[in-house]
Amino acid sequence: MVTVVVLVPWLAWLVVSLLSFYLLTLLAHARSGLPPGPRPLPLIGSLHLLGDKPHRSLARLAKIHGPLMSIRLGADLFAAGSDTSSSTVEWAMTELLQNPSSMAMVCDELAQVIGSRRNIEEADISRLPYLQAVIKETFRLHPPAPLLLPRQPETTVKIAGCTIPKGSRVFINVWAIGRDKDVWIEPEKFMPERFLGSTIDFRGVDFELLPFGAGRRLCPGMALAIRMVHVMLASLLNQFKWSLPVELERDGINMEDQFGLTLAKVVPLCIIATPI
């Protein structure tokens, strides 16, 4: 029997759509132009100049002007995310389907360690190093939230030659960090092998990989999310054989992302599951 599935539940997309609508509304109000920010930092005078994918536009601007830019929002903006686990699993499946060798390796590992059709237990995760590497590589390329919650220094500080004034609102662009060619070899390539034998982890200690943040503002749901993502992905791969519909085989998978509560795919992944 063959079943066509969409990995992200409709409720997740409803939440993301509502946040996107809120952000677009905020952008529309900002189009009249805001007063310029303090010099000499590079600045963006109007919020709408960020576009609908601020994680990408900020990464480009940082390469031109350096890591610090003054952004006058005109109002406080705070957003917290959910549905990150389903989005991460969807991105992992997308990358694996586009990289058959990685798909074969993770499935072979599951078959050898777990056995086909057996339910995955939390205790099994530690025995699946390649699965863990796949999750890390997915977090690197597709962090659940592209921008971490803002920080605000209590005093003026100087870091790496950059002066950060007291009271500044500081955003960390983890999407850009994960694709920095000065940090990663072939950063745009999905390559889980880079984490095999590596001590780099995503629990807030290694600044190259910060999908959950770090310090006192570390995501409180990290422990649950880590367990859910590993068990969900392992269960899908161990219970089914996955393939692309004819049109996706012909045209390829749309890899465009959508800025919102989570860094979700613009076009949901629709693939074919065949029970093993």
Residues in the annotated binding site for heme: 219
In Å, how far from its chain's centre is CA 265? Answer: 10
| H or E element at residue 230 | helix 222-239
For residue 136, what are its two tokens?
């890390």
SS3 category, 145: coil
- Output 222-225 pairs: Cβ under 8 A, ≥24 positions apart: 225/84, 225/85, 225/88, 225/144
Contact 260, 16 (CB under 8 A): yes
Binding region: 219
In Å, how far from its chain's centre is CA 51? Answer: 18
With a CB cutoff of 8 Å and minimum separation 6, the contacts of 28 are 48
SS3 category, 101: helix
Among 156, 152, 104, 151, smallest CA distance to 130 is for 104
Distance, first Cα to last Cα, the chain: 10
Contact 143, 178 (CB under 8 A): yes
